[in-house]
Structure formats: C-alpha cells, structure tokens
A and B are shown apart, each in its own frame.
Chain A
Amino acid sequence: MNYFVPVRSVLSAVVYPVQALASMPSDVGDWFSKFFQDHKKLTTKITALEANDLLNSFRLQKLQALERENMRLRKLLGSSFRIQERVLVAEMLTIDLDPSSQQVVIDKGAQSGLFSGQPVLDATGVMGQVIEVGPFSSRILLLTDPSHAIPVQINRNGLRAVAIGRGLGKKLQLDHLPHNADVRKGDLLVTSGLGGMFPVGYPVGTIDVISNIQGKIFAEIRVKPAAQLETSREVLLVLPTVKVVVPDSEPSLAEDEQ
C-alpha cells in the first residue's frame, strides 16, 4: 500500500521549484507592500502589538500558576506527568491546488523533521495535519476537507464527538450526537487527544448552528472552525510530545521552576 511514498517524496522535490516559482508573484507583492509601508502605519502596528504582548504575558503569568496547581492536583490523583509541546513555524506557498480538495503546501519538509500525521495549528486554532512529506516541502490536509475528521470534546462539559469537514468555506459537522446531547450554541470545541494524532486542548471551533430535524436520528450540528483557514500564511507544526513523569518524592514546585 505504501510502496509509493518514497517515489512521491522524491518527485515532490523535483516539482518543488515549479511550485516555489508559482508562489513568487504574490511573495514579491507582499515584499513590496511591506517595503513601502509608511511610518505612521508601522507605528500604530507596533503600538498594537506591544499592547497585545503585554496582555499575553499577563495571561501567561496566570497560566503558570494554573499549571502548577494542575500539577499538584494531578499528583493527588497519582498520575503526575507533564506534556511538553514544542512547535516549528513554516510558511505556506501561495499556490492553488485542486479546488475540490482542501490542501496546502508549506515550505518545510523532512529536512526540518516533519512527519506524516503531524498536527498543524495557526495562531487561533487547529488547521489540519501533514499528509505528505517531501525533502523540502510538505502537504497539509485542512480540517475542512471532506476526508478529514478530528476527535473533539466540548470544553464546557467534556462531551466527546468527531468533527468532520464539508469543504472549504463550509462549517464542520459533528456526527452522531443525539437530539438530547448537551450542546449549546457558542460552545468551544477543543481537541480531545483521542486517536493519538492531535495533542489535547487546542481549540477547533465553536458550535454555530444546532438543528433538531424531526425524523432524523441525530442532531445536525455545525461548527465554525477557530483557525483562520483562509487568511493564515504562517502555520505552526507541533513537534512530538515528550511525556515528563514527575517523580513522587520530588517537590513539584522546585521541579517547575527550572
């Protein structure tokens, strides 16, 4: 079944120059618009970014305290481990592929340590996963592709479900949830970590429409993806998680403050 993976990998290195060339006009356009930005615009942008940075570091302080508390509670439960996640930044090539399947090409490949099945995020949520790795480029399947499904849970109550893509620009669908399932409009869905592909707790989307059609067995639930699938250029690739087991005897505070 997978005999052709190395063939594809080699051939994708052959066609990468063509793809990079096709991506060039918009890259050059970006460069020019960056180069000729006026001073005032840049100043306002920097001010906004600084304010955002301040807000983020404030939230991070709180997060550290929460993480420490979480560790202590986990210790009480007897399952104390911490998951370290690292990410790698890659950029999309601005090329159009087959419009009926949602795939994008990014400019990092096996040489940067990417692998098939790797989760891909952007600044606001899960984007999809890597499906094909070449030496210098790789291909990402987006959440919205009809052949993509992602295990999720509702952040409010932990109800688990599977979100399935329905095509670009369309919302995701939650399958096989009964009419009386505890789902409300606006609920945040996060990855549940089941299936072992995606790490736990990254936002996938929010519940947008719930329609209980009489005569159907399951409720029709639509989910608006959290990631900005149409506008993001930079993507984050999650590197394999390292499970760090915290030994029982060691005081957890000292361990955390390294």
Chain B
Amino acid sequence: MAMSKVSNGGSIIIFSIIIAILLVLVPLPEELRFARPEWVVMTLIYWSMALPRRVGVGFAWVTGLLMDIILGGILGVYAFVYALVVYLIARFHLQLRQYPLWQQALTIMSLVLLVHVLTVVLSPKSAGWQLWLPAVTSTIMWPFVYAILRKCRRTFHVS
C-alpha cells in the first residue's frame, strides 16, 4: 500500500515538471517573450520545499540537464543552477515553510535573480534589461503556482 502511494506521488511530481517545461516552450507574443516566468524553477522550488526528501539536488540536476538540451544552451549550465537553487531550498525549507506567502515570493525573486546572474555569467547572452523581467513575473506568479501545486499535492496524497 505504501509502495503504491509512493510511486503515484512520483508520477505527479514528474507530470508537474513536464507541464512546467511545456509552459516554458509554448510560443508567446514577441513583446512578452522576455517576461516569461521561470516555471520550472518555481515547480522545483515548491516540491523541494514541500518534500525535500523526494525532490533533491539530484532530481534538480537531471531536470536542469534536460532544460539545457531543450533550450540548446551550454550543457550543464541549467543543471548546475537548478541544483544550487534546490540545495539552498533544502537547506532552508523549514524556515521557508513558516514565511507568509508574500515573503516566500520575495525569496523566489532572489532565487530567480540568482538563476539569471549565473546563466548570464556562464553562457553568453545578448539581452539588455529585459533579462531581469522573469524575476518580477515569477514573483507575481508564485502565489498561484504555490496554490495549484499544494492543491495537487493534497488531492493526490503526494508525500
């Protein structure tokens, strides 16, 4: 019984990651392309905050490697950055869970900024100030992502 529950939960986590990747790839109008929220980072953060034993650094590393292939960057940049973010979350998940939602959103902003600083340092980019827009949009979207994923976790008893 316990085993079947565990495997069920795993498929939900992977399914949510795939949905997040699809949201990253879906075409947007030209003006909004730079403002796309970091769906995959947010999903990883939620799961590693809620279930740090199941979604750890290794899971984030594999997801990041797949993102490197999908987005066609330098192999390993996203893998490293995602692993680092999930490490930070795993380190501080007990504090983060106590924060009110807006404070969590600010944490998300700093983490997405960290992701962007590192990807800019590690791979050549040619964008101006728009590069920092995802940090803002991710902060705005965080309460919704949090609510939806918590609903998923409770409905499907992912633990």
Please count how many residues in chain A sit with their CB below 8 Å of the partner chain's CB atoms: 31
Residues from chain B with a CB closer than 8 A to the CB of A100 are 125-127, 131
Beta-carbon contacts under 8 Å, B8-44 to A:
18, 21-22, 24-28, 30, 33-34, 36
Q: Report how far A10 CA is from B26 CA in the complex, Å.
A: 23
Q: Which residue of B lies closest to A94 (CB)?
A: B27
A contact face: mostly helix, strand, loop, or mixed: mixed
> Is the pair A7, B27 in contact by a Cβ cutoff of 8 Å?
no
Nearest neighbor of A12 in chain B, beta-carbon distance: B69
Q: Contact mask A85-120 → B, CB, 8 Å, 1/0?
A: 000000000111111110101000000000000000
Known: A11-B65, A103-B72. A146 touches B126 (CB 8 A): yes
A18 touches B70 (CB 8 A): yes
Q: Does B149 contact A (CB under 8 A)?
A: no
The main secondary structure of chain B at its interface with chain A is helix
Given contacts A18-B25, A21-B22, A96-B27, contact A101 B66 (CB under 8 A): no
A22 touches B66 (CB 8 A): no
CA of A94 to CA of B72, assembled, Å:
15
Given the contacts A96-B33, A167-B126, A18 and B21 also touching, CB distance less than 8 Å: yes
Bound complex: CA of A132 vs CA of B74, how far in Å?
12
Q: Does A26 contact B (CB under 8 A)?
A: yes
Q: Does A147 contact B (CB under 8 A)?
A: yes
B75 at the interface (CB under 8 A from A): yes
- Indicate which residue in B34, B71, B127 contacts A97 across the interface (CB closer than 8 Å): B71
Q: Which chain A residues numbered 119 to 150 have a C-beta less than 8 Å away from chain B?
A: 132, 139, 146-147
Contact between A101 and B125 (Cβ–Cβ < 8 Å)?
yes
Q: Which A1-53 residues have C-beta < 8 A from chain B?
A: 4, 7-8, 11-12, 14-15, 18-19, 21-23, 25-26
Shortest CB distance B124–A (Å): 7
Within 8 A of A (CB), among B121-144: 124-127, 130-131
Select A95's contact among B25, B73, B124, beta carbons within 8 Å: B25
B22 touches A18 (CB 8 A): yes
A11 with B26: CB separation less than 8 A: no
Cβ A26 vs Cβ B72 within 8 A: no
A18-B26 in contact (CB<8A): no
CB-CB under 8 A from B24, the residues of chain A are 96
Bound together, the chains give a CA A99 to CA B69 distance in angstroms of: 15
Which residues of A pack against B, CB within 8 Å? 4, 7-8, 11-12, 14-15, 18-19, 21-23, 25-26, 94-101, 103, 105, 132, 139, 146-147, 166-167, 169
Q: Which residues of B contact A (CB under 8 A)?
A: 18, 21-22, 24-28, 30, 33-34, 36, 65-66, 69-73, 75, 124-127, 130-131
| Contacts beyond the supplied A18-B21, A98-B73, A166-B126: 17 A-B pairs with Cβ under 8 Å | A14-B66, A14-B69, A18-B18, A18-B22, A18-B25, A22-B21, A22-B22, A22-B25, A95-B27, A96-B24, A97-B70, A97-B71, A98-B72, A99-B127, A101-B73, A139-B72, A167-B126
